[in-house]
Amino acid sequence: MSLAQRLRYWLAGSVPRPQAPSLSPLLETRDLQVRVGQGEAGRVLVRDLSLSVRPGEFWCVLGPNGVGKTQLLNTLAGARPPAAGEVRIAGVALADWSLAELACLRGYAPQTVHDAFATPVLDVVLQGRHPHLSRWHWEGVTDDALAHVALERVGLAHLAQRDVCTLSGGERARVALATLLTQDPPLALLDEPLAHLDLAQQARMLILLATECRVRRRALLMSVHDLSLAQRVATHALLLHPDGLTLAGPVAAVMTEEALSTAFGHPLRHHSADGRVWWLPA
Ligand SMILES: Nc1ncnc2c1ncn2[C@@H]1O[C@H](COP(=O)(O)OP(=O)(O)OP(=O)(O)O)[C@@H](O)[C@H]1O
């Protein structure tokens, strides 16, 4: 199948996939509390977080090392229970979705992936189609086409038959993104997806993700350390403070020198150049 044919499949929407429901929130939290550790040794990472994420919104999750970004994303994905409060996906409590239904609605790209077995890259990317297949069905030509298109979009079509265990860190991170694109959930949670990428790949992958948001009305929540990149693509930001308090809203309201400097415990300044905002430590 040619690239043009694959793209036609994908763009024409002839492949059944879940549609993002209008503008109702895809993700909501109410008075969410995230905690690690037990008893006296425990620590509240996030307290009383109430949030609504809608189709077309690109949220960047910001905060210093160890503040709780990963644990929060794990909680939003349903991989760990909240200490208090609730998470709702597409209006329904997380626990009320079956795992298969949930996998059609939200995707999660964790910070690191451990590959236990030698597997062709294409098979890893095809795993994104599993939630869409009924129990007794193998992946078909359409699933193959979607996986190839996703690999082309992250610039790794030439590695389709390579053993995933042999990839570099940056290549593996892009395969994780391709798997998420193949899964194609209306809501995607990404934990530092740019961490292993060089500057050019960071820019390419960010443009790709921003296009998913803007053109295809996907909702994204992504943790990221590079404030300048966050400012470039995000529509909204969620800033975590070490004391568990959070600041959430449109980028302009959250990404201020005062709020970021307080959260990171160090003066941070923004500068304008080339029509963009760049963040630097003072
Ligand atoms: N099981 C655990 N018991 C105790 N503390 C834990 C446990 N798991 C994580 N933590 C702590 O919770 C805090 C938040 O961790 P998390 O990985 O969410 O931080 P992060 O904001 O993603 O950090 P980074 O920017 O460094 O990736 C850290 O201080 C971590 O050491």
Please give the chain's pLDDT, 282 residues, in tens. 455 554 444 444 444 444 444 578 999 999 999 999 988 889 999 999 999 999 999 999 999 999 999 999 999 999 999 999 999 999 999 999 998 899 999 999 998 888 888 999 999 999 998 888 766 677 778 888 999 999 999 999 999 999 999 999 999 999 999 999 999 999 999 999 999 899 999 999 999 999 999 999 999 999 999 999 999 999 999 999 999 999 999 999 999 999 999 999 999 999 998 888 999 998
> 53 C-alpha vs ligand 1 centroid, how far in Å?
24
Phi first, then psi, for residue 29 (nearest 5°) are -125, 145
Cα–Cα dist 191/239, whole Å: 14
> 66 C-alpha vs ligand 1 centroid, how far in Å?
5
Asked if residue 99 lies in contact with residue 52, where contact means CB atoms within 8 angstroms, the answer is: no
163 forms beta bridges with 120
> 67 C-alpha vs ligand 1 centroid, how far in Å?
7
Q: Is the CB of 63 under 6 A from ligand 1?
A: yes
Q: Is the CB of 36 under 6 A from ligand 1?
A: yes
Predicted TM-score (pTM) of this structure: 0.89
> 255 C-alpha vs ligand 1 centroid, how far in Å?
23
Q: Is the CB of 244 under 6 A from ligand 1?
A: no
CA angle 66, 79, 72 (to 5 degrees): 30
Total count of domains within the chain: 1
What residues make up the domain containing 184?
A: 3-281
Q: Residue 17's pLDDT is what? A: 44
CATH number of 212's domain: 3.40.50.300
Cα–Cα dist 136/142, whole Å: 16
Q: Residue 22's pLDDT is what? A: 59
End-to-end Cα distance, the chain = 54
> 61 C-alpha vs ligand 1 centroid, how far in Å?
14
Q: For tokens 């969620």, name the residue.
A: 238
User: Which token pair is 257?
Assistant: 């020198």
Q: Is the CB of 45 under 6 A from ligand 1?
A: yes
Q: What ipTM, to 2 d.p.?
A: 0.97
Q: Residue 136's pLDDT is what? A: 67
Cα–Cα dist 153/174, whole Å: 10
Q: Is the CB of 272 under 6 A from ligand 1?
A: no
Q: Is the CB of 37 under 6 A from ligand 1?
A: yes
